[in-house]
């Protein structure tokens, strides 16, 4: 899926700030992948108040590195997404994502010292930070 489609999913989950961060830091020319990858205990269970699918994302960042991440999406949202990847490739991607040790959080942490409006163009949406 393209980066805008992915970012809109973060927005739908109330993670607009993360979406804004991704908009600057994802390789917008690359394809990104999303697939359900729940731990055994976290398949949707309406009785337990869980109605989202735990998905794994495989992202390509602006420096070309592939990192993984997680995102919960509603099953109907996932079902509405076009499936663009043949099954064989899906398995390969799932394997790649699980084998990818770095995630977007670690990438962001390593990148932080280089991150400014001058370098990558990212402007933090909140002027003040408590950390």
Q: How many CB atoms lie within 10 A of CB 42?
A: 14
User: Of 24 and 42, which CB lies nearer to Zn ion in the complex structure?
Assistant: 24
Position 115 contacts Zn ion (CB under 5 A):
yes
Nearest to 91 by CA among 80, 103, 99: 99
Among 48, 79, 120, 124, binds Zn ion (CB under 5 A): 120
User: Of 39 and 123, which CB lies nearer to Zn ion in the complex structure?
Assistant: 123
Shortest CB 27 distance to Zn ion, Å: 13
Shortest CB 43 distance to Zn ion, Å: 35
DSSP code at position 38: -
User: Of 24 and 100, which CB lies nearer to Zn ion in the complex structure?
Assistant: 24
DSSP state letters, 52-86: -EEEEEEEEBTTS-EEEEEEEE-HHHHHHS---S-
Which residues form the interface with Zn ion (CB under 5 A)?
Answer: 115, 120, 122
């Amino acid at each position: 899926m393209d980066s805008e489609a992915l970012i809109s999913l973060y927005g739908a989950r109330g993670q607009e700030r993360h979406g804004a961060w991704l908009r600057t830091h994802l390789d917008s020319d690359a394809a990104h992948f999303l697939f359900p990858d729940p731990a055994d205990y976290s398949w949707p269970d309406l009785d337990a108040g869980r109605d989202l699918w735990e998905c794994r994302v495989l992202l390509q960042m602006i420096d070309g590195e592939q990192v993984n991440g997680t995102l919960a999406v509603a099953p109907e949202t996932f079902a509405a997404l076009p499936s663009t990847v043949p099954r064989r490739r899906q398995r390969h991607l799932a394997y790649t994502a699980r084998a990818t040790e770095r995630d977007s959080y670690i990438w962001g942490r390593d990148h932080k010292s280089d991150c400014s409006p001058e370098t990558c163009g990212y402007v933090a949406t909140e002027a003040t930070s408590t950390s």
